[in-house]
Amino acid sequence: MPDAVSIHPAALSAAEIAAWKAIAASVPAFGNPLLGPDFALAVGAVRPDARVAIYRDGDRILGFLPHHRRPGGMARPLGAPLSDYHGLIAGPEAGLTGAQALTLAGLSAYRFTGLVDPHGAFAGLSTGESTGYAINLTQSPADYLEALRAASAKRFKNWRRLESKLDREVGPVRIEASDDPAAYAQIMAWKREQLTRTGVADFLRPDWTRQLLDGLAAARGGLRGLTLIMWAGDTIAAGHFGIAADGWYHPWVASTNPELGEYSPGQTFLMKAIAAMPALGLTTYDLGPSHDHYKRHYASPGQTVQEGTATAATPGGVLAGGRERVWTMAGARGEGMVASLRRRLDAIAVTELSTAGRVRGFVDAVAAQPRRRLAAAGD
């Protein structure tokens, strides 16, 4: 009979970490480092509410559910909103359903937004889905770029024109990995300015997210932060920051120099990044889910991730399920307005840990509505 224990990531034993890595390595859908124990350890270093539910059948480990335990037994994805991919890390033989996993872990509900569920443990609980996009370099960069050109010759010609213009008018364009704290700080500052300007929730504001990213940026070896900078001469034109491990790169922050907007440096950045992947030791450049209006031009669609809420077979789970149905029905009647509000409140709930922070986030969300409408109108 399966049972479970929930512990802080720092309490994971070497054997448990090894078992987690073995399960992830055996299931291709769990390849992203966000789904591994090293990410859980990094989040645990800055979040006392981080937990990992470990499922066993006797001495055999069946799987892991990394999460944050919130009031009322509500579970949120570990590291959200930075955990673009999350889920129950288990092999197909585990035989656990989402409801069973929550009940065993003493949780009432699990709210997910980027669920990876290759075994269907949470089947039927999705209220939305999106597609993850990744650049998988199984060929030479030149062949990959030629495939992009063949798929969209006009778009590719425009990319090349913009790169040539930037190179000619600002300076030679190159991309490199950087450990310069000033370059890292600059792309973070540009990102925060963009979030403020467009009225999007500032996920970089809470102390724990800054501590997590700063810590990863300083890490060397294993799971680490990787800052990629595109220069035009001596000027930073664009940059990405995210996590890298075992040839896999998952950027969280993408920002561009606002003074170079006429050159669309973000487009040139991805083209240069593809060409540089072998030199950077990268085989997969995972752009994550959503925003497929631009990602699909550079990357291939990968696995589908789910959004929804799973509930336990307990009184607390029944209450949580009732609240979920109310939100869903209200969203349907509100033609997206309520759904949009829920996403914003969810973003505040997972990033702001204090009551004061959540109140401030709500006030900012209301104040940002005019900016968000203007940004949407400009798309």
Mind listing the pLDDT tens digit for each residue in 45-83? 999 999 999 999 999 999 999 999 988 899 999 999 999
Question: Could you tell me which residue, 127 or 352, shows the higher pLDDT?
Answer: 127
pLDDT at residue number 31: 94
Residues 228 and 285: their CA atoms lie apart, in Å, by: 12
* HSE-up of residue 196 (Cα within 13 Å, Cβ side): 8
Confidence of residue 375 (pLDDT cuts 50, 70, 90): very low
Tokens of 177: 């990995």
Percent of the chain scored above 70 by pLDDT? 83
Which of 125-139, 166-180, 227-241, 335-349 has the weakest average pLDDT? 335-349
Judge contact between 116 and 303, C-beta under 8 A.
yes
Q: Report pLDDT for 344.
A: 60
Facing residues of 135 across strands? Answer: 285
Residues in CB range of 288: below 8 A, 6 or more apart: 84, 85, 114, 132, 133, 250, 251
Q: Answer whether CATH 3.40.630.30 is correct for domain 139-282.
A: yes
Interacting residues of 38 by C-beta distance below 8 A, sequence separation 6+: 222, 223, 245
From residue 214, give the alpha-carbon distance in Å to each of 16, 45, 135, 178, 364. Answer: 27, 12, 26, 14, 25
**Residue 306's beta-bridge partner residues?**
115, 129
Record the pTM. Answer: 0.88
Give the position of tokens 């789904």.
35
User: Distance from CA of residue 258 to its chain's centroid?
Assistant: 24
**Do 233 and 48 touch, CB atoms closer than 8 A?**
no
Tell me the two tokens of residue 378.
């400009």
Rounded CA-CA distance 308/99 in Å is: 13
Position 371 pLDDT exceeds 80: no
Taking the C-alpha atoms of residue 254 and residue 251, their distance in angstroms, rounded to an integer, is 7
Provide the token pair at 319: 């209450």
- Which residues have C-beta within 8 Å of that of residue 147, sequence separation ≥ 6? none
Distance in angstroms (rounded) separating the CA atoms of residues 271 and 266 = 9
Q: 54-80 b/e with 16+ CB inside 10 Å = b?
A: bbbeeeebbbbbbbbbbeebbbbbbbb
Q: Which residue has the higher pLDDT, 294 or 347?
A: 294
Enumerate residues 6+ apart whose C-beta is below 8 A from 265: 166, 230, 232, 237, 238, 256, 257
Contact between 276 and 2 (Cβ < 8 Å): no
pLDDT of residue 364: 58
Q: Which residues on adjacent β-strands are paired with residue 76?
A: 68
pLDDT at residue 324 is higher than 70: no
